[in-house]
Amino acid sequence: MSTMPRRIASMVLACLWAASLGLIITPSAQAETAEPQGELMIEHFDPATGQRIIPNERCLTCHGDEKEKTDVRDDGTQVNLFVHREQIEASVHGEQRCNSCHTTIRRVPHREAPEVIVGCVECHRDTWEKFQNDPEGKHKRLKVVNEQIDNFMDSVHAQPNKLDESRTNATCYDCHDAHNVGELGSIQRAEKRLKNPEVCGRCHEKQLAEYRTSDHGKAVLEKGDSKSAVCSDCHTTHAIAAPESDTAKRAITKNCGDCHEDAQRTYFASYHGQVHRLGYTNTAKCHDCHGGHEVKDKDDPTSSIHANNRLENCKNCHTDANENFLSFWPHGDADDMEAYPTLWWAKRFMQGLIYGVIAFFWVHVLLWLYRELVDRFQGKGFIENLDRPDIVYFRRFSVAWRWIHALFAISTMTLILTGTTLLFSHTGWAKAVVSFLGGPKMEGIIHRTAAIIWLAIFLTHLTIALTNIWRKRKTFQWFGGTSMLPNMKDLQDLRNMFRWFLGRGPRPEFCHWTYWQKFDYWAPFWGAAVIGSSGIVLFAPEATASILPGWVFNIATLIHAEEALLAAIFLNSVHFFNVHFRPERFPMSTTIFTGAIPIEEFKHDHRLEYERLVAAGDLEKHLIKRPSRRAELAASFITSVLIMAGLALLTLVLIGIATAPK
What is the nearest approach in angstroms of another protein to the Cβ of residue 17?
9
CA distance 342 to 555: 8
Interface with another protein includes 74 (CB under 8 A)?
Answer: yes
In the complex with another protein, which residue's Cβ is closer, 15 or 456? 15
Q: Does 76 bind another protein (CB under 8 A)?
A: no
Residue 34 contacts another protein per CB under 8 A = yes
**Which 8-state DSSP code applies to residue 283?**
S
Does the footprint of another protein cover residue 52 (CB under 8 A)? yes
Q: Does 3 bind another protein (CB under 8 A)?
A: no
Q: 503 and 371 in contact (C-beta within 8 Å)?
A: yes
DSSP letters spanning 586-615: TT---HHHH-EEEHHHHHHH-HHHHHHHHH
Tell whether residue 32 is a contact of another protein (CB under 8 A): no
State how beta strands 78-80 and 70-72 pair.
antiparallel
Type of residue found at 445: I
Under the binding rule (CB under 8 A), the answer on residue 452 touching another protein is: no
Q: Which is nearer to another protein, 40 or 363 (CB)?
A: 40
For position 62 contacting another protein by CB under 8 A, the verdict is yes
Which member of 3, 5, 6, 38 binds another protein (CB under 8 A)?
Answer: 38
Least separation, in Å, of the C-beta of 46 and another protein?
13
Q: Can you tell me the distance from the alpha carbon of 626 to that of 596, in angstroms, rounded to the nearest whole number? A: 8
Encoded amino acid at 602, one letter:
F
**Closest listed residue to residue 558, CA positions, set 343, 312, 367:** 343
Q: Does 13 bind another protein (CB under 8 A)?
A: no
Going across the sheet that includes 392-395, the strands are: 596-598, 392-395, 623-625
Asked if 22 interacts with another protein (CB under 8 A), we say yes
Q: Is residue 50 involved in binding another protein (CB under 8 A)?
A: yes
d(CA 481, CA 489): 10
Q: Which of 40, 117, 317, 465 binds another protein (CB under 8 A)?
A: 40
Q: Is 547 in the site for another protein (CB under 8 A)?
A: no
Among 9, 53, 79, 113, binds another protein (CB under 8 A): 113
> What's CA 281's distance to the chain center, in Å?
12
Burial of 379 (0-12, 13-18, 19+ CB in 10 A): exposed
Name the segment binding another protein (CB under 8 A); options: 28-36, 153-161, 411-419, 477-485. Answer: 28-36
- Which contacts qualify for 336-345: CB closer than 8 Å, 24 or more apart? 340/554, 342/551, 342/555, 343/551, 343/554, 343/555, 343/558
Q: Could you give phi then psi for residue 222, rounded to 5 degrees?
A: -95, -40
| Choice from 3, 5, 23, 625 touching another protein (CB under 8 A) | 23
Asked if 61 interacts with another protein (CB under 8 A), we say yes
Q: State in angstroms the smallest separation of the CB of 64 from another protein.
A: 11
Using CB under 8 A as the binding rule, whether residue 26 contacts another protein is answered as yes
Q: Residue 278: which H helix or E strand, with range?
A: none
Binding test (CB under 8 A) with another protein, winner from 32, 112, 387, 620: 112
For residue 108, state whether it binds another protein (rule: CB under 8 A): yes
- Per rule CB under 8 A, count of chain residues that contact another protein: 40
110 near another protein (CB under 8 A): yes
Could you tell me which stretch among 9-17, 306-314, 412-420, 530-538 binds another protein (CB under 8 A)? 9-17
Residue 8 beta carbon to another protein: minimum distance, rounded to whole angstroms: 8
Residues 6+ apart with CB under 8 A from 404: 457, 460, 461
State the residues that interact with another protein by CB under 8 A.
7-8, 11-12, 15-16, 18-19, 22-23, 25-27, 29-30, 33-34, 36-38, 40-43, 45, 50, 52, 58, 61-62, 65, 71, 74, 107-113
